[in-house]
Amino acid sequence: MRVLGIETSCDETGVALYDTALDGGNGLLADALYSQIAMHAEYGGVVPELASRDHTRKLLPLVEQVLAEANMTRSELDGIAYTAGPGLVGALMVGAATAHGMARALDIPALGVHHMEGHLLAPMLERDPPAFPFVALLVSGGHTQLVEVKGLGRYRLLGESVDDAAGEAFDKAAKMLGLPYPGGPEVARLAEQGDPQRFRFPRPMTDRPGLDFSFSGLKTHTLTAIRKLDEAGELTPQGRADIARAFEDAVADTLTIKCRRALDATGLKRLVVAGGVSANVRLRERLRLACDKRSARAYYPRGRFCTDNGAMIAYVGAQRLQAGECDTLGQMQATPRWPLSDLSAPDAPPNAATPSG
């Protein structure tokens, strides 16, 4: 089954083509991504109306590009998957309307896909994917969640952020430090020059049991540290780098501590880490050490699939379409708020969704 995937949940337009007839790592036939970061950087964050308009301009040309790279025509498609939520409602509508319009014209099924399920299963696109069950850390600008994954659609929420997501906290810390948007990579770059011994920031909610997260207090602590340095005349380039390092260490340690607890609580030996923050080098190093101590293994999507992309939507859509799911005629979905816990397993899970290893 050849499925076109469309991702337009926020500020990146992603399109990909996945073929279920091929083995996991070989199933991705082509993918393309256009990022709006440069456009939104001027405003210090995503402007929803501008995002929607840009998706409208870029989506169909990207569809044609992906089809050309795969040496296919629209008539050879068997289904279309699109991000139905969560996300910006206007941006979601662009992808949903395009997918349903194409599907209606081609007389093939369309299916709305959960954005976070895409991130959750993005490592399945790799040549050495994790087998079910596993623990997943979803860590991005909008979500920080720990999930026990038993199979496609079989998810149990273990913990989540009660306020800011980790990626959101990175963006806010970057803004405090005068760094450009998006903040995560900028904070990480600045932290490389920082002294890890100068400051120690709190590791929120790690002094109590449970798997929930909170980053708002860490954000406040960072602002207080910046103001103190400024008042003392010590907010130098080195001072800013030292604060960036302390902030990054605190986030990486907090996420790692919670992942250790989740692995111990479930008894599982596989950890999937996905979402934009999963690309952070310091976090990966901490998680590697934590997994090594437990004879466990961490799995990540390749770099370009850590952030939003069409490949993860094509993959999840292909698995669910192959299992018989599809939108009913005219049932175009755009759901800005959509808990992952609302998802269910298909009635007939596809074989391709259960890799070995």
Q: Which of 251, 236, 250, 232 is nearest to 178 (CA)?
A: 236
How far, rounded to the nearest angstrom, does the alpha carbon of residue 173 sit from its chain's CA centroid? Answer: 20
Task: Pull the structure tokens for residue 162.
Answer: 């009660």
User: In this predicted structure, what is the pLDDT of residue 141?
Assistant: 82
Q: What is the CA radius of gyration of the chain?
A: 21
| Assigned CATH topology for domain 2-122+306-342 | Nucleotidyltransferase; domain 5 (3.30.420)
State the Cα–Cα distance between residues 84 and 89, nearest whole angstrom: 9
Asked whether the whole model's pTM tops 0.75, one would answer yes
CATH number given to 133-300 = 3.30.420.40
Residue ranges of the chain whose pLDDT lies below 50: 349, 351-357
User: In this predicted structure, what is the pLDDT of residue 348?
Assistant: 52
Q: What residue numbers does the annotated binding site cover?
A: 115, 119, 138-142, 171, 184, 280, 308
Q: What residue numbers does the annotated binding site for substrate cover?
A: 138-142, 171, 184, 280
Residues 6+ apart with CB under 8 A from 68: none
Q: What residue numbers does the annotated binding site for Fe cation cover?
A: 115, 119, 308
Domain with CATH 3.30.420.40 in the chain: 2-122+306-342, 133-300
- Sign of the torsion angle spanned by Cα atoms 83, 85, 91, 95: positive
